[in-house]
Chain A
Amino acid sequence: MTQPLLQMTHIVKQFPGVRAVDDVAFTVMPGEVHGLLGENGAGKSTLLKILSGAHQPDAGSIRLNGTEIQLSNPFEAQRKGIVTIYQEFNLVPQLTIAENVFIGREPTSGVLLKWGEMARQTRDLTDRLGISLDPMTQVRDLSVAEQQMVEIARALSMQSKLIIMDEPTSALSDKEVDLLFNIIRELKKQGLGIIFVTHRLEEVMEICDRITVLRDGHNAGEADVKDIGIPDIIRMMVGRAVDDLYAGQHKQHTRQAALSVHGITRRGNAQDAAAIVLNDISFEVYKGEILGLAGLVGAGRTEIARAIFGADPYDSGEVRVEGQSVRIKSPEDAIRHGIGLVPEDRKQQALFLALAIRQNMSIAALGKLLQWGTFVRESQESKLIDEYRQMLNVRMTSPEQLVSNLSGGNQQKVVIARWLALQPRVLIVDEPTRGIDVGAKAEVHALLHQMADQGIAVIMISSELPEILGMSDRIITIREGKLTGEILRADATEEKLMQMMTLARALVS
């Protein structure tokens, strides 16, 4: 048997109030794509931060190619060949791809940079990855996926042996995911070990060779992917079987429009003032309905949501809430009219990372918790928090815990709770289950059904077609800022949707 590339044994990491990793063993072979799976808060990221030198373990040993190593900081881990592709990229946007790849290790002659050399080596690396990017492009002009590629190129340039990818696909479109997988296969061929974290189990089946499952900080199982199926993985993760992810149902919706949008048009974005971002968008959502909004990444789904919510201005068009024409100029106005938005990027747009769960969860609903119109009734607030903690099964130690100490999925639940607490008339959710584990996903879905039952109109944006198909009563599709079709769930299939999302209206109908 070949020697393991990485062998972690008896790893323990204690945080105030929670033992995040408890006596965990984890082994990766060379040339292996190893899936690290588990529910939100199971300890995946913590284990990987120990491996990348960002956290120090309280106990346990790490062996790389058979020799025991100490990793006291991320730099040391990098030098030993362990590189992490972070979710938030560590690139300098103003610099070129080549400069970013070689940052801190630039080839020089004297004090001068060897630009030609840097460009050539960078091109070698991107060739190895099978992607074509000009090394002299500024990183800020790249898409999220391309930035990720640059990170991988940098990892390669450091002669790494082990690449850690913590939820690398959560911000990528399907096509970009395919590209990433091709790269991963390429790396695998070259004998690197890859650790891959995801909550999308189909991806596990597609790319991973072996999996290790964590539950509550413990090892909950290890298996070869070829021997198992998705239900087995779920059982290992959750400790029980989860019924169909989209099993929930809600009552037949009404015919009363909760929100209607007429001819919303918005011109101009950061790059191009003349570009048409939203082109004459009109649709309505009924009380008690879940309306799916589908489209490729960049098609304008998020822009529609932000325009309705008052986060971005639009040039012309009208929004009506329950038949009344309303002028929404800011999120404050939108909330006053009973519209809520769970934004797509929780770190940038939703969370107050320096504040506790308490402040994060209740911020939008504070108006309902006031005494004499000013003082926050904290006991009532605690009750509210506890209610949503139970409803969404948020893994937390107390409302006073800093939200930055929660695992990614639990942070997302806190954001969702913020909007549920407001009990809106219309709730727009933009990628509501991004980074959420299977169990919690089913819970969020059940919750959306429940909200529809209460008469709330829900607009759901999602890049996962099965989610759109499984949840929506009706689906509208958008492409390049224009609506391209509308279809009832009963008539919809993945193929039809795909067609509507990628082709112009004339071709569909």
Chain B
Amino acid sequence: MAQASAVTKASVSGGQNLTRVLGQFAPLIFLFVLVVIFAIATEGRFLNPLNVFNVLRQVSIVGLMAIGMTFVILTGGIDLSVGSILAVAGMVAAIVVKGTNQNTLSLDTSEVQGFGVGTALLAAILVGILVGFLHGTVITRLGIPAFVVTLGGLTIWRGVTLILSNGGPISGFNPDYRYWGQGLIELPWLTEMVQARVPIGVPIPVIIFLLFAVLAHIMLRYTRYGRHIYAVGGNKEAARLSGLNVQRLTLSVYIIMGFFAGLAGFVLSARLNSSEAVAGIGSELDVIAAVVIGGTSLFGGEGNVLGTVIGALLIGVLINGLVMLNVSSYIQQIIIGVIIILAVAFDRYIKSRRR
């Protein structure tokens, strides 16, 4: 019968299977090639565990925000304000933990009494969530494009940060606070193996980053919420007619974005031992680049968090490798731009072969 002959015809040829597998890992292949190139060009210095963890630590700030951005872009939205959210959240965390917005490096710390580190972390995250909620509400209730709303947010929250901080940085935190950005889970065997003079280990920001990456992946891949996000990005009208609350789902991704930007702001402040009013300026570009390099479509409905993690790593590796090779920072920028375009082109090519 018709059924049976359709089945016998359904033979999958090996070549097509290969491109299908490749398609899923296009950004990963790209990353791998880069690592190999840098490893050879630096005669192995690039792969030194100290350097590897250094790259990872740098990546985790952009990476955390890129996880949130993946949710936003999957729905077909965008958030240009992440750098400013990061700054305002980091600033609030600093003020909460110090109990003042004066730069207390010069102050006797016993004069003012701040709150605990947990409270500071919570405050940073709450600020992020609140900002995301505001953006999402304006976008969904007033129907103003996300691009415009978050472009406005970009300058608004930067301004708020400057007011909060009187323009200057707030620096010099207690060790508990700094631990969140500078701490390590030590790996003594590794330290011994490479006979390093300082203890080597997995930086705390990296652990936070990977933890949330896994969590976000599970959310997007295995839950109803995740299915709904893809549906909203794929076809808003069809999503609505399938009974999804498109407005609420759209709002939710800006809140998630705010959460991640707030968390990243706290971690960055801890790592630098300073909350700067200029923190994260321009970082929205790195964040969006990481998501797009990772294969997520700016039109929405296509992509995943694993790709984003790889995209963030790719940018981090690139910057670090070029610095190690003493490439001038002007040329670095050109190379990074070219690689971003190449990576996305490669991804698109492989995907089109898969169709």
Give A contacts to B, CB under 8 Å: 14, 16-19, 22, 39, 41, 215-217, 238-239, 309, 311, 330-332, 334-336, 341, 343, 348-355, 359, 362-364, 366-367, 370, 374-376, 393, 395, 397, 402, 405, 418
Contact = CB atoms under 8 A, between A and B. Distances in A.
A352 B301 CA distance: 8
Given A393-B3, A397-B10, A402-B355, A354 B227 contact: no
B2 interface: yes
Do most interface residues of chain B lie in helix, strand or loop, or is the interface mixed?
helix
A355 B241 contact: no
B238 A351 contact: yes
Contacts of B20: 16
Interface in B300-323: 301-302
B114 to A, nearest CB: 38
A349 B227 contact: no
A343 B12 CA distance: 34
B355 A352 contact: no
Contacts of A18: 6, 9-10
A16 B234 contact: no
B186 interface: no
Contact of A17 (B12, B234, B244, B245): B12
A16 B243 contact: no
Interface string B15-40: 01000100000000000000000000
Quick one: which of A16, A216, A217, A393 has the most chain B CB within 10 A? Answer: A16
Interface residues of B, number: 36
B110 interface: no
A333 to B, nearest CB: 9
Interface in B225-239: 225, 227-228, 230-231, 234-235, 237-239
A175 B56 CA distance: 67
Given A311-B241, A331-B243, A350-B241, A216 B5 contact: yes
A175 B302 CA distance: 41
A354 B9 contact: no
A331 B240 CA distance: 7
B242 A364 contact: yes
Given A331-B240, A370-B224, A39 B234 contact: no
A376 B6 contact: no
Given A19-B9, A335-B243, A405 B355 contact: yes
Contacts of A405: 355
A374 B231 contact: no
B330 interface: no
B238 A352 contact: yes
B246 to A, nearest CB: 9
Contact of B2 (A216, A309, A330): A216
Nearest to A215: B2
A370 B302 CA distance: 23
B243 A334 contact: yes
B227 A376 contact: yes
Contact of A332 (B225, B238, B243, B355): B243
Interface of B: 1-3, 5-6, 9-13, 16, 20, 222-225, 227-228, 230-231, 234-235, 237-245, 297, 301-302, 354-355
A363 B223 contact: no
B2 A239 contact: yes
A330 B245 contact: yes
Given A16-B20, A216-B6, A355-B234, 7 more contacts: A18-B9, A19-B9, A216-B5, A217-B9, A359-B227, A363-B227, A402-B355
A364 B235 CA distance: 14
A405 B355 CA distance: 8
A335 B242 CA distance: 8
A277 to B, nearest CB: 18
A477 B280 CA distance: 63
A216 B9 contact: yes
Contacts of B355: 402, 405
Contact of A376 (B11, B222, B241, B242): B222
Nearest to A372: B223
Contacts of A238: 2
26 contacts: A16-B13, A17-B11, A17-B12, A18-B6, A18-B9, A39-B2, A216-B2, A216-B9, A238-B2, A331-B240, A331-B242, A331-B243, A336-B243, A350-B241, A352-B231, A352-B301, A354-B234, A354-B301, A359-B227, A359-B230, A359-B231, A363-B239, A364-B242, A375-B223, A393-B3, A397-B10
Quick one: which of B10, B231, B235, B237 has the most chain A CB within 10 A? Answer: B235
Contact of B225 (A14, A22, A374): A374
| Nearest 4 A/B pairs, CB to CB | A352-B234, A335-B243, A354-B301, A16-B16
B45 to A, nearest CB: 43
A352 B230 contact: yes
A349 B20 CA distance: 29
B116 to A, nearest CB: 32
A405 B225 CA distance: 25
Nearest to B240: A331
Contacts of A393: 3
Given A311-B240, A341-B241, A353 B223 contact: no
Given A375-B222, A376-B227, A349 B241 contact: yes
Contacts of B242: 331, 350, 363-364, 418
Contact of B241 (A22, A331, A353, A374): A331
Nearest to A403: B234
Contacts of A367: 224
A375 B244 CA distance: 17
Nearest to A356: B230
Nearest to B223: A374
A216 B244 CA distance: 37
Contacts of A355: 230-231, 234, 301
A300 B355 CA distance: 39
Contacts of B238: 348-352
A211 to B, nearest CB: 19
Nearest to A374: B223
A311 B11 CA distance: 42
Quick one: which of B3, B9, B222, B240 has the most chain A CB within 10 A? Answer: B9
B77 to A, nearest CB: 16
A18 B10 CA distance: 5
B237 A17 contact: no
A353 B235 CA distance: 8
Contacts of B5: 216
B215 to A, nearest CB: 13
Contacts of B3: 393
Contacts of B235: 348, 351-353
A239 B6 CA distance: 14
A341 B241 CA distance: 8
Contacts of A343: 241
A448 B318 CA distance: 59
